[in-house]
Amino acid sequence: DMEYRIVRGDGAVLVVRDLSAWMPAERGDGGFFRGAIQDITHLAELRQQAEEAASEVISIIDASLLPIIVIDEHGTVQRANGATERVFGWDVEELVGLDVGVLAAGLTQQQHSGYLAHYLETGGASTPEGLVVGRTREVRGRRRDGSEFPAQLTVAEAELGTGRRQFVGIVMDLTEQKTTEEHLRQMQKSEALGTLVAGVAHDFNNLLTAIRGGIDMAQEFPDQSRWLEIATQASDRAAEVVRQLLRFSRRDEPQQIELDPAEMIREATTLSRETLDRRIWFTSHADEDLPPILGDPGQMQQVLLNLIVNARDAVLEKAEQQPGTFEPAIQVSARAQSIEGVPGVVFEVRDNGTGMTDEVRERALDPFFTTKPADRGTGLGLAAVTGIIQRHEGQIRIHTKLGEGTDFGVWLPSRRREDSESPFAEGREEPRWAAQGEAPAVLIVDDEEPLGAIAAAYLRSAGFEALAFTNGDDALAEAGRRRINLAVLDVNMPSPNGWEVLAALRRRDPDLPVIVCSGFADDEDARGRGATAVLAKPYTRAQLVDAVRTALSASAEGASEGR
C-alpha cells in the first residue's frame, strides 16, 4: 500500500494509491505483482488543506500573547503555547500529559476536579459555583515555583471530528490590572472617607457631650445610676463608629471571611446615617435567615457606602430642583436570590432621585466617569464598586428611569467557611491556678496612663495581680525580675512599641501568653507576630477579664499536654 505521484499522458500530475501484492508462481521460484492503482488526487488535496489549516491554527495559538491550553475530557493537558511557558514557568513538553490542576491554586484547584465531570454529565448545567465551560471567570493561577497570581479564565469546548471532546482554556494574568484597581480603590476610599468623617465628627461631638454630661450628672447625683448608663451607651456607640471607620480605612490584603448580610446592612446604615441630610427618609431592611457570603468586610462596606452616597447625591440634586415639594428617600435592603442555579444574596439601594439617561447608565460604571461637578466627585466610586464585586464573583445591575430614581442591585454568591472551634468555647475546666487560689501576675503596658490604670483595676477586681507600665523598657525590666503569667500590650507606643516588647518577651519565655490591644491590629497578623489573642479597643471589663482567663486556660492546657 503506497502513495506516489504519476504524470498522466496529458501532463497532469496525479496522486495515486498503489494497492498490490506479490503473487508467487505456481511452479518455480518466480512470481508477479497483482494489484490496482486508485486516483486519490482529490483526497490528497483535502488532506493537505486540513494539514495546512491545522498548522495555521497551531501557529496562531503559538503566536498568542495569552496562555492557551488544550485539555481532554479528563483534564489532561494535550497542547499549550509558548505564552503558557512564559506565564506559568512550565516547559510545554513537561506540561503535556499532566493534569491541568497543576496550574490552579487555592479554591480554584479544589473545585477543578469536579468541573468537567459535572459538565459532561449534565450537558452544561450550572455547578454550585456557577457555569464553568462557556464563560469567563476570575481564578487563582499557580506558577511552577509555587507562587500564585490572579487570572481570568475562559473555557470553551472544541468540537473535533474524531469524536474526542476537548476543551480550550485561555488565561489572562490580572496581576497588573489588580494593582491598578487597588490603587483606584484606595483613591476612591480616601474620597469616601472625607465624606464619612464630616458626618462622624458631628456625631462624635454629640456622643462626647452625652458622655461628659452623664459623668457630670453622676458626680452631682451619685445615687442616680441612669446618668452612668447614658455615658456608657454613648461610649459604646462611639466605639462602634470608630471600629467601622477603621475597618473601612484598612489597606490590608482582602480577606475571605464569612459575613452576615443582615449585619452588613446594619453597619452600613450606622455609618451612612451620619452623612445623610436630615431631610432624607432613610430606611433599611434585611430578610430573616439570609445565607452568609464570603468576602472582605471592609470592601463590602465600601460597596454599600458608595451606593448609598451615590443615592444621597441623586435625591439631594432633585430636592434642589424641586424645593419644598419633593420628599427624598433612600431604601437599603438585602434578600436571597439564586442566579443560574447558584444561591446568593442581593443587596439593593433604591432612591427616588434624578435617575439617569440611557447614555449615563451605560457609562456609570466606567472609571473617572461622573456627572457631578469637579469639586464633588472623581468618578471612581462606582468603578471601585464594580471591581470589588467582580473580585467576589458577583454581579451588579442598574435599573433607572430619568426623573424617577435609580435601583442598584449587587448580587453575591452565598458561601460558607467551616469555623474552627472558638477559643472562648464554654465548658472549659478551671485552670490549676484558679483552683489553687494563686493570683496570676499580668503585665500591662500602655503609654496612656489612664488606660493602663483602668485595665489594672479591671483585672485586680477579678482576682489577678496587675502590674501597669507606661513604657516598654520599664515593663521588660520588671519582667526580668519576677514571674509573669501573661502580658497585655498596647501596640501603638513610642519605642519600644508593642511588637518590639512582644518579641523581647517571647525571647525570654516562648510560651508566655500575650494579648495585643489595639484599634488597628489584625488578628491574623498579630498571631503571625506571636500574639496569643487580639483585643480590640475600646474594651469592657468583661471582655478584658474573659480574654485573660481564656489565654491563661489555653496556656495551662498546652503545658499539661506537653508534660
Instruction: Find, among 283, 344, 334, the residue nearest to 311 by Cα.
Output: 283
Contacts of 460 (CB under 8 A, 6+ apart): 466
Q: What phi and psi, each to the nearest 5 degrees, are found at residue 282?
A: -110, 120
Q: What phi and psi, each to the nearest 5 degrees, are found at residue 502?
A: -60, -45
| Topology adopted by domain 438-562 | Rossmann fold (3.40.50)
393: left (phi over 0), alpha (psi -120 to 50) or beta: left
Residue range 256-276, pLDDT digits in tens? 788 899 998 988 887 777 667
Q: Could you please report the per-residue DSSP string of 167-191? A: EEEEEEE-HHHHHHHHHHHHHHHHH
Residue range 180-190, pLDDT digits in tens? 777 766 665 66
Burial class of 65 by CB neighbour count within 10 A (0 to 12, 13 to 18, 19+):
exposed
Q: What phi and psi, each to the nearest 5 degrees, are found at residue 274?
A: -75, -15
Decide: helix, strand or coil at residue 303.
Answer: helix
| Residues of the chain above pLDDT 90, percent | 19
Domain boundaries, the chain: 2-49, 64-173, 178-413, 438-562
Higher local confidence (pLDDT), 430 or 235 = 235
Q: What phi and psi, each to the nearest 5 degrees, are found at residue 280?
A: -80, 125
Cα→Cα distances 96→79, 116, 213, 365, 558, Å: 6, 18, 75, 41, 49
For the chain, percent helix, then strand, then coil, each to nearest 5?
Answer: 45, 25, 30
Cβ count near 215 (within 10 Å): 14
| Topology adopted by domain 64-173 | Beta-Lactamase (3.30.450)
Residue range 317-364, pLDDT digits in tens? 898 888 888 899 999 999 999 887 788 999 999 999 989 888 878 777
Contacts of 228 (CB under 8 A, 6+ apart): 214, 215, 218
Contact call for residues 490 and 517 (beta carbons, < 8 A): yes
Instruction: Find, among 20, 22, 25, the residue nearest to 35 by Cα.
Output: 20
Cβ count near 376 (within 10 Å): 11
Higher local confidence (pLDDT), 504 or 228 = 504
For domain 178-413, the CATH architecture is: 2-Layer Sandwich (3.30)
- Nine-digit cell at 279? 431631610
Q: What phi and psi, each to the nearest 5 degrees, are found at residue 349?
A: -125, 110
Residue range 361-379, pLDDT digits in tens? 877 776 555 666 544 544 4
Average pLDDT over residues 469-475: 91
Decide: helix, strand or coil at residue 72.
Answer: strand
Higher local confidence (pLDDT), 248 or 280 = 280
Average pLDDT over residues 406-435: 57
Average pLDDT over residues 290-311: 85
How long a stretch of residues is the chain? 563
pTM for this structure? Answer: 0.45
Q: To which residue does cell 490552579 refer?
A: 104
Q: Letter for the amino acid at 210?
A: A
| Topology adopted by domain 2-49 | Complement Module; domain 1 (2.10.70)
pLDDT at 237 over 90: no
Higher local confidence (pLDDT), 7 or 217 = 7
- Nine-digit cell at 167? 476543551
